[in-house]
Chain A
């Protein structure tokens, strides 16, 4: 599988534990994503909130770079990046004049050849038939609350992934690992995402509802595939507990942490020792 890798800013910033986990886990499964040279930020919420054209141009530049570098598939492990990349590709697919305009803005052609995949889609491609026989340490004690957050499944017309109300792709994977995912209500609720700095109280309130519901349904950890969800639920968990006047103590794992642990990779190699809640 020749796979381009678009890390996005978070995975090269304070969520570098996600990149460590992902590389260790995919490496064990013999998938080596190759980083796109000269990739730039997708613009995230700031671009789509303040400048529509920029929110298409920035991701489009990355799609063009991936094409130039000979890729047909691209892993974007951050759901925000992944959604923005797919949105730009879709808008340009539907409107030839927009494609010409954006190509001239970004000084590169985008033909639309590159398909953007999120992390779960890459694990699905590898397939349970390859993952299951490689499981050395079944995660029998784990009862994870599989947390999708907003942008893995929304907006459905853009991401075209799983069910936006009742997703099940993460549960399918963790069951292969021997874990027992809990049934709970807040799987696709928002954690407050990028408001961590600008409006902290929003994050504390939304996140406490998520952790409280996970706890109420008997989860002993949360699993996510999003760097922002991880920052809010892990790094901010102490503040969330103070805000809620409750104790959660729920470790928050990246999906690749759980796959990696089951495949026999150590916590240190996966970067789990760098999380806040352990």
Chain B
């Protein structure tokens, strides 16, 4: 916030903090000056991404959010396994570890046992309209 007040937008957009934020809305709710801090975080993230300023140290969060949007763009609804697969494969170059790739694989049988695992996610019928909505919002495929 201080960086923004001082007009140092690049510093704010390159900060790790904007990707560590969990968007819990506590700051916006409690700010005595009614500053929508969580909304500012959103604007900074969108700006950082558009300008290539997103902190490399926070790559896993950036990649996760991008993989999420790619998934919705394709299916209209979230396919959890497809999301995890895309996230892990794209995050891998920075994480560089096989334990990272397989860390959550042990959950699969436990979820299966509880009928919580869906090998194929749901898709909406009219996926073309979903793609057109994404295009009109200027949201292309995230690579």
Residues from chain A with a CB closer than 8 A to the CB of B122 are 12
Write the nearest CB–CB distance from B136 to chain A, whole angstroms.
Answer: 5
Residues from chain B with a CB closer than 8 A to the CB of A124 are none
| A/B interface sample: 29 pairs, CB < 8 A | A9-B77, A13-B118, A16-B116, A38-B124, A39-B77, A40-B124, A41-B78, A44-B68, A46-B66, A49-B23, A49-B45, A50-B65, A54-B69, A54-B137, A57-B136, A57-B137, A105-B133, A105-B136, A107-B133, A151-B24, A155-B36, A193-B24, A195-B22, A197-B84, A202-B20, A235-B107, A274-B114, A274-B115, A276-B110
Known interface pairs A17-B116, A197-B104, A198-B87; A58-B72 also in contact (CB < 8 Å): yes
Known interface pairs A195-B61, A198-B61; A107-B137 also in contact (CB < 8 Å): no
Convert B1-38 into 0s and 1s, putting 1 for each residue whose CB lies closer than 8 angstroms to a CB of A: 00000000000000000001011111011000000101
Give Cα A156 to B126, complex, Å.
Answer: 34
A122: CB under 8 A from chain B? no
Residues from chain A with a CB closer than 8 A to the CB of B77 are 9, 12, 39-41
Q: Which residues of B does A touch, CB under 8 Å? A: 20, 22-26, 28-29, 36, 38, 41-43, 45-46, 49, 60-61, 63-66, 68-69, 72, 76-78, 80, 84, 87, 104, 107, 110-111, 114-118, 121-122, 124-126, 129-130, 132-134, 136-139
Give Cα A189 to B24, complex, Å.
Answer: 8
Q: Which residues of A does B touch, CB under 8 Å? A: 9-10, 12-17, 38-41, 43-55, 57-58, 61, 104-107, 150-151, 154-156, 164, 188-190, 192-195, 197-199, 202, 206, 235, 274-276
Interface of B is mostly: helix
Give Cα A12 to B80, complex, Å.
Answer: 10
Known interface pairs A49-B45, A54-B139, A105-B133; A199-B20 also in contact (CB < 8 Å): yes
Give Cα A190 to B28, complex, Å.
Answer: 14
Q: Which of A39, A46, A274 has the most CB of B within 10 A?
A: A46
Are the C-beta atoms of B65 and A14 separated by less than 8 Å? no
Give Cα A107 to B38, complex, Å.
Answer: 29
Write the nearest CB–CB distance from B23 to chain A, whole angstroms.
Answer: 6
Closest 8 CB pairs of A and B: A190-B24, A9-B78, A198-B64, A46-B68, A154-B25, A150-B24, A54-B137, A274-B114
